[in-house]
Chain A
């Protein structure tokens, strides 16, 4: 067979983690599966790249927690290289020179909270329990194909009934709490629990990550919960680093897929999907090669899946309109630094032992709820935040292989950097954005500038350019109530299917979406296998 006309059972477009998960499940079920990745590296937004000689970066996504335990188990990922190193702490430098820390040990965290507010130390225990219950309440939903409430098909009615039973089984109190989390702002929600403002700010930051919302925007509490749903070894709300960077997670899934017989090609960008009548039959690569398969599965976001890979005129108007109004609104940027040494956070007051511990964890630049909210206000009106929220980690502290001896890599997640910045992104604006980040960081770690050996600044525009994610949205579309569950990405097309026979979606733009979770890829593969 000539290389231009090979045959497969399934072609997966995009070698991000969801595409790879889908490929692994399909291959495991005996499908001859091919993954096509446009870039030279696998992983999509979960890649490790050496951006400066000897310095390896998790370029985009940098921590992991949400990867579904059943996927780890089904694909035996630890055997293929998955190794999560726990992230031990979060330190928030305060405006008064002090700090607020959360540690892996809950008792130590409570003692620390007590220093700032005895009431909050008390509340933290109950809050932790509640979030655990809420994550448990959501867990079955993450694992189900969303039923369509407007449909009368037996499968949908069964799904709705199951969902109804699940909610009733929670009991009224937990159901109401879940409802509050679905509808409230993270700041309002946390106001009901805590009094120390920097604590509320640091916790509410989880409610804005990757989303064009402020901590006072209704809906942000759901994003907060979304970040609590991660489990590592059965413990919710545990975050960690993958040894070797997030790219190594993608590689472990790819290795699993290969072990099941899947073939994976990089530098093989798909130009478009071949459609005959109302059936997808294969793909055309950028180099003109045609590859055929009865199953074509796109892990790209809904805009690319429905309007770039295929001609949208082949689709119903409702679907095209739904995709058009689907909100991406990338809101975050990334600054990756190669450092000559360790930053000196003044809030740690030169305490060497404390410093070494703290540097193994995250630093959150979230001194107050108002600080975060004002950062959002800048972005609402088309500017990057002058004083942004930042989530900072130094992976080389835990995983020395990431940087040469004595040197370090620092990953700074920054919000807000709106995709639709006024007058568009250009080199000068990227530079100014990077400078705003470094300047803000210098307030807390004054020696940072002198340590920088290399700086990579990524705006949402860059994220889109490099990974293909529309508008640079890291979740393939906002996690807003009107874009979740049976509405994700578009009503009636939330079950991984498309109107074209043989054409499927499996990216984070489908339920449950977002984060290195893999649930979309798994559910899509299961639906495909059920249908074929």
Chain B
């Protein structure tokens, strides 16, 4: 059997590429190192009968991807709230940021009448800003030397959209994009709990604190495609955390694509500056003239490709990509005994009630240390998908920032991982009464574990930190934002390429289009 295209990785991006190319008649093989498909959306079994996805946010499913794949029967559910903040204290009250702006404003009013009155206009404006990004995220990122008529035309569309915001909104959009989220929330709101909620959303999977310029962009990035009124939560799929991957895999197979799991790629083979295929870890070689890798850019270009085929300047640029995984996960199996679980975990819960704590947590990471008091967010996947735990039980995932991949003068080991787990458990116990007593299983995933389990270099689910210098035409590296890499026939189609993480099949779709255009 020979193939036209080998796709590396069976996550949302890889499967999207595979399905789109298969639909166009290409003979496609997807190779996936894990035993299951789904990439980082797949649930990890951490105790018998308990499974947890590491993300509460499957990502945004764009109209372009939906249309190109012909997706119909993927049942999406809109969240009722973006998040909540556990305020601790005797009555363990929660600030719930409902997606209905008026309900959210009512909740905020208990903390600040002024902030409540500002909320609806603020969230609507942010939604409008995110919708400009949404347009950009369905295009090949325009660059300064763009000359292709098609790209210029689509760019003109984005420019029209930007101008369509009106003078005030357009200026404000350009002003806030590079801002530290701290300045944004300080200018807008007076209540510290509300400020911290927004700031925490802006820190998702980056190694930065809220006072870092560009964190507002990160906030907007994860708002793309979120339902109106939401500052981060996007629709989720009723059939499971990996429903998108499963569905798209079905489409791919239906059009003749082959998906091989448990097949790790050792090398992308090159002959005469052209891709010739891949070599698997069992030594077998598969020939193909096109390879689309959805592994991160460093793994793809520095590990899988022999760098003798690459220009040293290019190799240097790739090695300069900042991955900087700094998120750890503590996974809990919770017995049915826990009272009030439904109320507590109805929405992702942040345990941080002030933005200074977020900044201090990020400070530690700058020096290669785990935060003394990390930012912890809880998410209960079994509220959406009861099948992930035995009947009546729950799975709770704690996202923990900051636990940097690279520790100063130290390595991650079991002791450190265990210490982190205990620290996080104690933190939750202090804020959520009854939680600790109900825990029946615990496990921890440090960035090292994320790296080995998901094949993500430095444990970075972003495949490249979403900072201003690593987005749009700068992603994955400047001048190579067009999916085609400098080795003929090699394309990058993962989150390391534009539009980055959190856009289901976003990069995979654009990479597939690049393959089709090029042949």
Query: Does chain A bind chain B?
Result: yes
- Closest chain B residue to A151 by CB distance? B167
Q: Is the CB of A373 within 8 A of B366?
A: yes
Please provide the chain B residues from 392 to 421 with a CB less than 8 Å away from any CB of chain A in the complex.
none
A172 touches which of B172, B356, B478 (Cβ 8 Å): B478
- Residues in B whose Cβ lies below 8 Å from that of A177: 478
Q: Is the CB of A217 within 8 A of B212?
A: yes
- Cα distance A521–B211 when bound, in Å? 31
> How many residues of B are in contact with the other chain, CB < 8 A?
37
Main secondary structure of the interface of A (DSSP, over half): helix
- Residues in A whose Cβ lies below 8 Å from that of B163: 150
Q: Is the CB of B211 within 8 A of A380?
A: yes
Q: Is the CB of A180 within 8 A of B213?
A: no
- Residues in A whose Cβ lies below 8 Å from that of B468: 183-184, 218
Q: Is the CB of A487 within 8 A of B174?
A: yes
Q: Is the CB of B175 within 8 A of A491?
A: yes
B214 in contact (CB, < 8 A): yes
- Residues in A whose Cβ lies below 8 Å from that of B212: 217-218
Known: A217-B211, A219-B213. A180 touches B171 (CB 8 A): no
A387 in contact (CB, < 8 A): no
- Residues in B whose Cβ lies below 8 Å from that of A486: 171
B35 in contact (CB, < 8 A): no
- Closest chain A residue to B408 by CB distance? A370
- Cα distance A151–B168 when bound, in Å? 10
Question: What 0/1 readout, one digit per residue, does chain B (32-44) give for beta carbons within 8 Å of chain A?
Answer: 0000000000000
B284 in contact (CB, < 8 A): no
- Residues in A whose Cβ lies below 8 Å from that of B214: 183, 218-219
B48 in contact (CB, < 8 A): no
- Closest chain B residue to A177 by CB distance? B478
B178 in contact (CB, < 8 A): yes
- Residues in A whose Cβ lies below 8 Å from that of B322: 188
Please provide the chain B residues from 125 to 165 with a CB less than 8 Å away from any CB of chain A in the complex.
143-145, 163
B267 in contact (CB, < 8 A): no
Q: Is the CB of A491 within 8 A of B171?
A: yes
- Cα distance A486–B170 when bound, in Å? 12
- Residues in A whose Cβ lies below 8 Å from that of B359: 380
Q: Is the CB of B144 within 8 A of A218?
A: no
Q: Is the CB of B178 within 8 A of A482?
A: yes
Q: Is the CB of B143 within 8 A of A172?
A: yes
A492 in contact (CB, < 8 A): yes
B356 touches which of A150, A192, A381 (Cβ 8 Å): A381
Q: Is the CB of B474 within 8 A of A180?
A: yes
- Residues in B whose Cβ lies below 8 Å from that of A320: none
Please provide the chain B residues from 469 to 505 with a CB less than 8 Å away from any CB of chain A in the complex.
469, 473-474, 478-479
B320 in contact (CB, < 8 A): yes
A168 in contact (CB, < 8 A): yes
A529 to chain B, nearest CB (A): 27
A150 touches which of B170, B320, B474 (Cβ 8 Å): B170
B74 in contact (CB, < 8 A): no
B208 in contact (CB, < 8 A): yes
Known: A172-B145, A327-B183, A373-B366. A492 touches B171 (CB 8 A): yes
Q: Is the CB of A481 within 8 A of B178?
A: yes
Please provide the chain A residues from 354 to 413 with a CB less than 8 Å away from any CB of chain B in the complex.
370, 373, 377, 380-381
- Closest chain A residue to B159 by CB distance? A149
B367 in contact (CB, < 8 A): yes
A423 in contact (CB, < 8 A): no
Instruction: Contacts A173-B479, A180-B478 known; list 12 others, CB within 8 Å.
Output: A168-B145, A172-B143, A172-B478, A175-B145, A176-B478, A184-B469, A216-B366, A219-B178, A318-B168, A373-B366, A482-B179, A487-B175
- 17 CB contacts below 8 A, A to B, read A148-B171, A167-B144, A168-B144, A176-B474, A176-B478, A177-B478, A180-B469, A183-B178, A217-B211, A217-B212, A218-B467, A380-B211, A381-B360, A481-B213, A482-B179, A482-B213, A492-B167
Chain B: residues with CB nearer than 8 A to chain A?
143-145, 163, 167-168, 170-172, 174-176, 178-179, 183, 187, 208, 211-214, 316, 320, 322, 356, 359-360, 363, 366-367, 467-469, 473-474, 478-479
